[in-house]
Amino acid sequence: MINPETTFLFIIEVIGTVAFAISGIRLAAAKSFDWFGAYVVGLVTAIGGGTLRDILLDIPVFWMQTWWYLAVTGLSLALVILFQKILVHTRVLFIFDTIGLALFVVIGIQKSLNVGYPMWVAVTMGIITGAFGGMLRDILLNNEPLLFKKDIYATACFIGGIIYWIALGAGLAMPWPGILCAATVIITRILAVQLGLSLPVLSEAFTDSENTPHPSDHIKS
Amino acid sequence: MINPETTFLFIIEVIGTVAFAISGIRLAAAKSFDWFGAYVVGLVTAIGGGTLRDILLDIPVFWMQTWWYLAVTGLSLALVILFQKILVHTRVLFIFDTIGLALFVVIGIQKSLNVGYPMWVAVTMGIITGAFGGMLRDILLNNEPLLFKKDIYATACFIGGIIYWIALGAGLAMPWPGILCAATVIITRILAVQLGLSLPVLSEAFTDSENTPHPSDHIKS
Amino acid sequence: MINPETTFLFIIEVIGTVAFAISGIRLAAAKSFDWFGAYVVGLVTAIGGGTLRDILLDIPVFWMQTWWYLAVTGLSLALVILFQKILVHTRVLFIFDTIGLALFVVIGIQKSLNVGYPMWVAVTMGIITGAFGGMLRDILLNNEPLLFKKDIYATACFIGGIIYWIALGAGLAMPWPGILCAATVIITRILAVQLGLSLPVLSEAFTDSENTPHPSDHIKS
């Protein structure tokens, strides 16, 4: 904890966790959830991705090793209850959320490499760590996952992961792949939002297919 | 099995499993699910919480060690098919459900402590064991989780867990923390329902925020 | 890979994975998901069941051991983007989907037996391997699981599993229980769709129970 680099990463991770938790709590509030429900949605948003990652990697689940993830989510709930009017109208949250996202991707990649998985698994785990919590949040709230429609959120994680891969392949020493990856995630996401970029949508040819959802529907047609 | 205490706990757990399964099966029936779908929803309601707990604790999943959880869920389905009119209008189910909930919380806490986790993890696992199955049920049924809006269901688990913690800290011998915890869950839930208690809702300041769901929406506003 | 039997199974598994992935991607397209969202839904449909199986069995997750599951899903996405008009109106997909389903059930059963679980767990894992991916797909798409209403999809898995069990109990040598199981799944599903068979629905007595969803609602009534 006295190590300045560790302390810096710790502070960034707290900020990212708070930003993710607040995003979940605010959406829960919009659906009139009670305090407990809002806490759960915030917690799931903040730790859901890392939890799936740790289960898939078969390593101890990170938030069960220290109580501060639960505590920081409680702090986030208190912040929303006390300052909700202010928080709703600020773009600071977007910056926090993006910084947290970038760090979550790097953590997911590094944990996977530590356990001995190849780089393509690590990139997948980076994306899961960054993006799965928000997907769970939308499932809990009974929304269609925003992730899939509005944002190049997960795509930013993917591009960041590729940069990590290239940097590692190019022989860069250890903090650098992570730093370049995080910077790529942040720049990609900010650029995408500023420029209104999004991925192509698959809809056009399927406007009449909502009624024909599964192969089994076609065998008789 | 000849041990009277074990037999008593076993009977209670069967009752709790049946009550949880029936709650899932009845909601599935209200959505016109077929028998298989109703069975799955009942099973997920009854074993979902314990399954997530065992995966998080990285211990063998409880319902894969003995076939009776699957069998008891089948029995619950048969009960609903045969006696649905009667079951719908009784409050006996509420009592069973509450007793089962209380036992599930105690089991979740004790399993976590057995694996060596600290008390705050154990309380979390107690809540997950008791409340996560119902959350999964609502997700499968494509409902917004009732848990988060109507009931102090999970809150009763939380208060029971705190009582377990205090009892253990006060040095009470082994069955007592569990008994006090279970009694607390039961009394809290019954009192809450009788008195119409519920947690504060987070909605007021957010009535206009349904259109502003994510930080990324604000960067341009 | 030079072993002809292994190569045959590998080809079948690729076909099944493509069929499952396409089913997910097409439904995502119907909801206007972007390419990434469609990829995720396709991937989850194809690997979701096997992932839950491997987590429950506590063995390494299959798609993290070789990159081709991710690659084949990417190929499926490309196929849908390039040939969607054609793919939408063919019943070939149903055949692929059914063959894949049959193989997935056999794989789930054999993996469970390899780890030492009894036959009733293996049958359950066969059903999960075959049917859970489609359930996850419907949850991600915020649909009510089709599985529970329209199809004897999971029931075909169940019947196939029972046939495996009987064949094994009758002392048949090793490839035969799997072959009989797969044939049963395929025949059952095709027959069921051709004849319009479905399981009984649980709805009648519950038309008025949508307003009475949980035991706790009744304690005061």
Q: Which of C58, C202, C219 faces B29 most closely, judged by CB atoms?
A: C202
**Percent of all residues in chain B with a pLDDT value above 90, rounded to a whole number:** 48
* Residue in A with minimal Cα distance to C27: A213
Taking CB atoms and an 8 Å limit, are C219 and B94 in contact across chains? yes
- Binding partners of B (≥3 Cβ pairs within 8 A): A, C
Read off the pLDDT of residues C50-82 as tens digits, 9 standing for 90 and up.
999 999 999 999 999 999 999 999 999 999 888
Please compute the mean of the pLDDT values over residues B160-180 and round it to a whole number. 93
**Is B196 part of the contact surface with chain A (CB cutoff 8 Å)?**
no
**Is C162 part of the contact surface with chain B (CB cutoff 8 Å)?**
no
How far, in Å, CA of B162 to CA of B156, rounded?
10
HEC profile for chain B? CCCHHHHHHHHHHHHHHHHHHHHHHHHHHHCCCEHHHHHHHHHHHHHHHHHHHHHHHCCCCHHHCCCHHHHHHHHHHHHHHHHHHHHHCCCHHHHHHHHHHHHHHHHHHHHHHHCCCCHHHHHHHHHHHHHHHHHHHHHHCCCCCHHHCCCCHHHHHHHHHHHHHHHHHCCCCCHHHHHHHHHHHHHHHHHHHHHCCCCCECCHHHCCHHHCCCHHHCCCC
**Is A2 part of the contact surface with chain C (CB cutoff 8 Å)?**
no
Per-residue confidence band for C128, with pLDDT thresholds at 50, 70 and 90: very high
Taking CB atoms and an 8 Å limit, are B41 and C135 in contact across chains? no
**Percent of all residues in chain A with a pLDDT value above 70, rounded to a whole number:** 82
Query: Taking CB atoms and an 8 Å cutoff, what residues of chain A touch B144?
Result: 31, 141-142
Measure in Å the smallest separation between the Cα of A156 and chain B Cα atoms: 13
Name residues 79-98 of chain A within 8 A of B (Cβ).
80-81, 84-85, 88-91, 93-94, 96-97
Please compute the mean of the pLDDT values over residues C166-171 and round it to a whole number. 94
Query: Taking CB atoms and an 8 Å cutoff, what residues of chain B touch A36?
Result: 148, 152, 154-155, 158, 199
Nearest Cα residue to B188 out of B151, B159, B208: B159
Those residues with Cβ within 8 angstroms of residue C117's Cβ, 6 or more apart along the chain or in another chain: B64, C57, C125
Measure in Å the smallest separation between the Cα of A173 and chain B Cα atoms: 33
* Residue in A with minimal Cα distance to C192: A216
Per-residue confidence band for C174, with pLDDT thresholds at 50, 70 and 90: confident
**Is C52 part of the contact surface with chain A (CB cutoff 8 Å)?**
no
| Cβ–Cβ pairs < 8 A, chains B and C | 121
Per-residue confidence band for B148, with pLDDT thresholds at 50, 70 and 90: low
Residue C125 has a pLDDT of 97
**Is C172 part of the contact surface with chain B (CB cutoff 8 Å)?**
no
- Share the mean pLDDT of chain B: 83
Those residues with Cβ within 8 angstroms of residue B26's Cβ, 6 or more apart along the chain or in another chain: B80, B84, B87, B88, C206, C209, C213
Residue A153 has a pLDDT of 82
- Share the mean pLDDT of chain C: 83
Taking CB atoms and an 8 Å limit, are B205 and A96 in contact across chains? no
Residue A212 has a pLDDT of 41
How far, in Å, CA of A97 to CA of C67, rounded?
30
Residue C102 has pLDDT above 90, yes or no: yes
Interface with chain B: mutation pick from A15, A18, A34, highest number of B CBs within 10 Å: A34
Read off the pLDDT of residues C13-22 as tens digits, 9 standing for 90 and up.
888 899 899 9
Per-residue confidence band for C43, with pLDDT thresholds at 50, 70 and 90: very high
Measure in Å the smallest separation between the Cα of C2 and chain B Cα atoms: 36
Q: Which helix (H) or strand (E) holds C55?
A: helix C35-57
CA torsion B13-B14-B19-B25 (nearest 10°) is 130
Please compute the mean of the pLDDT values over residues A173-198 and round it to a whole number. 90
Those residues with Cβ within 8 angstroms of residue A177's Cβ, 6 or more apart along the chain or in another chain: A163, A164, A167, A168
Please compute the mean of the pLDDT values over residues B31-55 and round it to a whole number. 92
Specify the higher pLDDT residue, C184 or A16: C184
Structure tokens at C116: 């030492």
Specify the higher pLDDT residue, B214 or B59: B59
Query: Taking CB atoms and an 8 Å cutoff, what residues of chain A touch B202?
Result: 25, 28-29, 32-35, 38, 80-81, 84
**Is B58 part of the contact surface with chain C (CB cutoff 8 Å)?**
yes
**Is B68 part of the contact surface with chain C (CB cutoff 8 Å)?**
no
Structure tokens at A51: 């939890």
Residue C105 has pLDDT above 70, yes or no: yes
Residue B9 has pLDDT above 80, yes or no: no
How far, in Å, CA of A168 to CA of A164, rounded?
6
List C-alpha distances in Å: B178 to B4, B48, C27. Answer: 17, 22, 48
User: Angle formed by the axes of helices B153-169 and B119-140, to 10°?
Assistant: 160
Read off the pLDDT of residues B81-93 as tens digits, 9 standing for 90 and up.
888 766 555 677 7
Residue C200 has pLDDT above 70, yes or no: yes
Taking CB atoms and an 8 Å limit, are C198 and B34 in contact across chains? yes
Per-residue confidence band for A102, with pLDDT thresholds at 50, 70 and 90: very high
Taking CB atoms and an 8 Å limit, are B193 and C216 in contact across chains? yes
Q: Which helix (H) or strand (E) holds A21?
A: helix A4-30
User: Which residues is A216 bridged to in the sheet?
Assistant: none
- Binding partners of C (≥3 Cβ pairs within 8 A): A, B
How far, in Å, CA of B97 to CA of B80, rounded?
15
Query: Taking CB atoms and an 8 Å cutoff, what residues of chain B touch A139?
Result: 139
Among A140-149, B94-103, B116-125, name the one with the lowest average pLDDT.
A140-149
Among A172-181, A193-202, B48-57, C121-130, name the one with the lowest average pLDDT.
A193-202
Read off the pLDDT of residues B100-110 as tens digits, 9 standing for 90 and up.
899 999 999 99
List C-alpha distances in Å: C184 to A26, C121, C149, C191. Answer: 50, 19, 21, 10
Read off the pLDDT of residues A4-42 as tens digits, 9 standing for 90 and up.
667 777 787 888 899 899 988 988 888 888 888 899 999
Number of residues assigned to chain A: 221
Query: Taking CB atoms and an 8 Å cutoff, what residues of chain C touch A220?
Result: 193-194
**Is A150 part of the contact surface with chain B (CB cutoff 8 Å)?**
yes
Name residues 31-50 of chain C within 8 A of A (Cβ).
31-38, 40-41
Q: For residues A71-94, b (16+ Cβ closer than 10 Å) or e, as one string?
A: ebbebbbebbeeebeebbeeeebb
According to the per-residue pLDDT averaged within each range, which of B2-6, C95-99, C148-152, C212-216 is highest? Answer: C95-99
Residue B213 has a pLDDT of 42
